[in-house]
Structure 1
Amino acid sequence: MKYCFVFTLIIFYSNSIFSQTKVDCLQNKLQDAKNENKAYIYNELAHEVFYTNSSLLYKYAKKTDSLAKLYNIDSTRISALNNLTYASVLQGKVKDATKYNQQAINLAFSKNLTNKKISSVYFKGFIFYATGQTDSSLFYLNKAYKSAITANHAKLKLQCLNTIASNFLSQGKYTIALEKFTKAYNIADSLKLSTKIINLSLNIGTTLMYNEEIDKAINYFEKVIVTSDTTITTLAYASALNNIGSCLNKKGNYKRALLYFNKSLTAFLKLNNKLHISQVYANLGQTNIFLNRTEAANGYLQHAVALNREGKSYGQLIVNLILLGDLQIRKKEYLQAKYSIDEAKSIIDKYNVNTNKIDLYKTYSSYFKATNQLNKALTYKELELQLRDSIFNENRQKQISQLETKFQTKLKENENESLRKDLSFNKLQVDKQTQLRNFFLILAILVIVLVMILLNRARLKKQAHKIIEEQKQELEKANRTKDKFFGIIAHDLRAPFNVLIVLSKLLYENYDDLSDKDRKSYINDLKEASKGSFNLVEDLLTWSRIQGGNPTIKKENLNIHSIVQSSISPLKASAKLKNITITNHLSSETTGFADKHSLETIIVNLINNALKFTPNNGEINISATSDSKNTTISISDTGIGMSRKQIDQLFKIDVNNSTLGTNKEKGTGLGLTLCKEFIEINNGKIWVESIQGKGSTFSFYIPTR
């Protein structure tokens, strides 16, 4: 999931441009002011710091509220309560913001103060906007906007239009958002409001960025930075820095994006703007993910989530919890990942949020796949693809509705045009023919478009089902591999343990009748068989790591003669039981380039397989040939051989190749699969030649160097 937060600026009914000199002057006036005059001065101070410092804004607004309440200055008190609403939202105190806003609404309506009623209703919409509740926000903002039009209050219209546009922007309705921002910009330009023009330039740039017009967007943001007052830190300046970082992320320039995000974070920390601080933390977290800096990313996302919870910013919280869960899966912190995505799901279910469900299902599928819960992984992958398909159907239906509307509109226009014209009969006939022709032309176009849409949908649906089927097969294969692993353990450990049991039984029952030499021979055979069993366990654990995608392979130049000789040793006892001769014909100078442990496992398995299918008093011969590229090793036996059908089914994990040996030895038929996988890991290939009744030769090659 690739998602960066970008900022629009909310424009308020305030003409103030920050001036430290003016703030100092007002503070000096406070010393000589009396009674209600202090309320007016504190209210002016609040306007001065409105865009620059939420902590000071809260402090001055609180003082204003206290004094205005004391001296019954209703209009000033409503302004103070709205300022407290805004400051509380920025500081993540949504509950306090709601309380102050309700007090402002109650007072404004009880005193019937028109402009204050409009601004108080506006701030109610702003609270819902800041917490991601778009529908509720638009309801109150449109209500305030209609009232501002009735009151002919240009600045309040500007304020409402800007936040309405920001809501549409967050919904992905870029055309409507750009229309509203442009309308607000024209109002600001007509009123010569330079600060508002800067803020709206930022918002237009943000809309262009969402519409993938990245270079145009960057030009707008750089314009905001250049035209901002460099002596102070403003929301517009801080937001422009963040948004340039987001543009650079989209262009893949992550390191440069980090520089802008860090500058933006410093600016928002100065402003004590927790709403935007949390978003910048999220951007820093995701950018560090792109750079594979997982620990740094985790820290930033944890900060973002904490601030989202504190501020009840549910829209941001959902996105950041999914990002955090995905990162925790990568770090194999599965318990924490489950908590993160479960919390995101609970918020989505509680507030019926649909925009993030695809990312949620995708992350759940990744989690269950990583924790080997393959059926659940497949279920969530199907939910993800179904939702994608559903969204496609909705978009298709909208396209069809738009086409139908255009068609009906065109038809009505033609009918109205015919009714308005008072032409001669011949002219009317010609017009009717023209209309009929146009009707069929439009109808044909509509049918063609519908067919194209349906064909495209069928193609996308086919692709989706293909993806589901491929992933289903992959998950089923993983399950089969897991089941086969236990069979391999039984196969490869049964033979040596049978030897241990037989030898120990012989030694126990015949101990008193055996000479010291015979006893030592039996004990030595037991030692070799035990050692071989231990080595097999080691090899099987290595194979399990291969199946998990984490094999420990260390390729090196090896003396193949020595490897073959050491592989024969643990099998001598099994050969002795059937009086089978194993002969190593390799030159002592035969070499190859492979992993030692896996090569030993290959040779042991192939010799053990030959022992199994060679009758008593048989022979097993091991030879090798080399050239400049490859060393080929062959293991031949005088066993029972195989048919062509049996040869064709060898090395297939989904076919049961288990066959009883000449002395009824049992196996799972998976030893050769193990050999094949190890040989391929060592860049080799295995094949077999066999004649029924005469024996088999298994050959494989590995690189010579």
Structure 2
Amino acid sequence: MIRIKLFATSVLLFVSFFLFSQEPQEIGSLMNIEIKAKSREFNKNINFDKAQKFFRASNWDSTLVYSMKEISNSENKELVDYCHYFRGIGFKEKKLLNESKKEFNKISNNFRFFYKVKMKLGEIAVDQKEFKMALQYFQQVEKFSDRRIYDMKNSTVLHNIGLCYLHLKNYDKAEDYLFKSSKVQEVEKDTLLLIGSYMDLANLYYEQYKDSQAIPYFEKAYHLSKKVNSFNIKRAAAKNMAVVEENRKNFPLALVYRKEFEQWKDSLNDQNKVWAIADLEKKFAVKQKQKEVDVLAAENKVKIAERNGFIIASVLLFILFGTGVYFYRQKIKNNKIILAQKNELDELNATKDKLFSIVSHDLRSSVNALKTSNGKLMENLKNKNFTELDVLLHTNSTIANGAYNLLDNLLNWALLQTKQAYFYQESLHLATIVQHVEYNYKPLMLNANINFNSDVSKTDYVFADMDSLKIIIRNMLDNAIKFSKENGAISIYSRPSSEEFCYLVIEDTGLGMNETTRQELLKETVLLSKKKNDDIIGTGLGMQLCKSLIRKNGGKLEIESEENVGTKMIIILPKFKNHG
């Protein structure tokens, strides 16, 4: 009980922060509309116009600068109140809570959105663990009578009051407000906030050691977390259930939840890697522009040198001739270098443009498919058509997995192309690596009614980088599943190895390919392969990534295939000879 109580408290703090914090300017909100109207009304106040634009764009440093200029120069009390509000939000987002509190306290009581000021002061008090003060602010917001004119959710105010009472150990009032909040969220079908309410109710009962009342709310929160896209919420819900089942001594089920927790943790890390790629691409573009500037600078230097040579040549004819020949040769050499660089750059740009075009198309197709499926999902949810719901949920899962694999391959491809990927070759037990990868694919094959067999030699050790080897096997298995028919079969096994290499075969009974397609796939090119079957979502990026990684590990790829019979992907990797 001690373990789950400590973890539940940490989740309480996380969920509390999530629910207390609200975006300062939602598109279409009452405040956002009012700010735009004020900007048009006082269009001569340039500093206010810039301050509100930076505020709505979440550019906090510029918001602080221009709102301070407006405060210093303006005599309009209403605009000054807005600028103090902008500064309060800016400091709050930059975690300068005391400065934020000072700005909010400078706002007059006549400010139209004074209830938002009280809400923000309450959030700051929570961040500073001044729960009694926070409670006073939230209770003031609760007293506003005509809520129809306010762009905030009543359930959020009720929930915040309940959380303050919970921190203050006033369990009866905390329970009353949290129940009120959850009931409103159930009516409004606000799933994300409802998950937080269920978790906080569970924590409320755990604080009082009422396990039988707490656990059902943890379970409700877990089931609802399946319907949201927040990885943090999914992680918290899964780990709560893991600890609950550990306390029940149901260790097999607890292990399942623990694995799910790690899965969402990895998903969050992958999401961060995608943003890292975007930043890397931005830096790469800057470097390319700098190279162009350097080339132009070199050309200008050549022209200046030629001009000076002709001036000197008017005096010294012999020097003119020698200098002319020298610069002529330099110019030819530079032109050859520039032409070679241009051809290389054109080829890289063509590859990049093709990649972006295909990836964008496939991502748009996946998102559009999810959008359409979610519409059907909501319609069948209202009609309680559970059979169709099950089909749609499996469809959404398949689409999401495809999009995830595409982004994962894009990340690894970008890291490989920019030489940023970590690469370390070592002795690896091939059967163990295959077992790690196939574990995640067995449920997918089971759902697709695909028979699976694994017979990898226990004596094979390869000399390779572990992460890249997992990527290769994962992509090969993913393709085998993608191109296999229902009730088909997939096998992964070892062929007899030679003195130098180990042979790993991934065989499927799927669509197969003709000899032309097989030869195209084996070409050493950076360009993407084209898919003949438009019904199968893919870019060919995974295959290009696999070929690049196999070559980097000192191996090679062979393909045996026959149309409508199946395909054998043969991965050949160097053997680790010194294994004792």
Q: For the superposition of Structure 1 and Structure 2, which TM-score range results when normalised by the shorter chain?
A: 0.3 to 0.5
TM-score for both structures, normalised by structure 1: 0.34
Q: Which has the larger radius of gyration?
A: 1
